[in-house]
Amino acid sequence: MVAQTPGQADSNCIRIASGGNLVASTVEERRKAAMEALTVPCTEAVLDLATAEVVDSLGITLILGLFKTCQQRRITFRVEGASPDLMRVFKLFSLPKLFPIQER
């Protein structure tokens, strides 16, 4: 995952790019990068799934972990760029009840 440094207009928002699919073989590396990104002071974190087509159970666990970390730090969390297929999976897990998810 790659964190994008906030610009002037959104200086309190950290964007975390998924860097591709969130699956068992990639989750640990991306979890570390996301947690490092969340060390930057911010009031909002956005997980950008624009490049992700597949999220397995460990990817769901990663997303939930990011959400819980943000809750503990009082950071607003949301997901953007989810494909229609990912939206179906997220709805199956009731994730939209926890945080906003924007479809592509």
Domain ranges of the chain: 2-103
Alpha-carbon dihedral angle through residues 38, 79, 75, 31, given to the nearest 10 degrees: -30
- Kindly state the percentage of the chain with pLDDT values over 70: 89
Report the pLDDT value the prediction gives residue 6, as an integer from 0 to 100: 46
Q: pLDDT tens digits for 6-35?
A: 444 456 899 999 999 999 999 999 999 999
What pTM value is reported for the model?
0.88
Q: Beta 76-82 vs 44-48: how paired, if at all?
A: parallel
Amino acid at 99: F
* The two structure tokens encoding residue 24: 């068992």
CATH class belonging to 2-103 = alpha beta
* The two structure tokens encoding residue 8: 């002037």
Q: Is 49 helix (H, G, I), strand (E, B) or coil?
A: coil
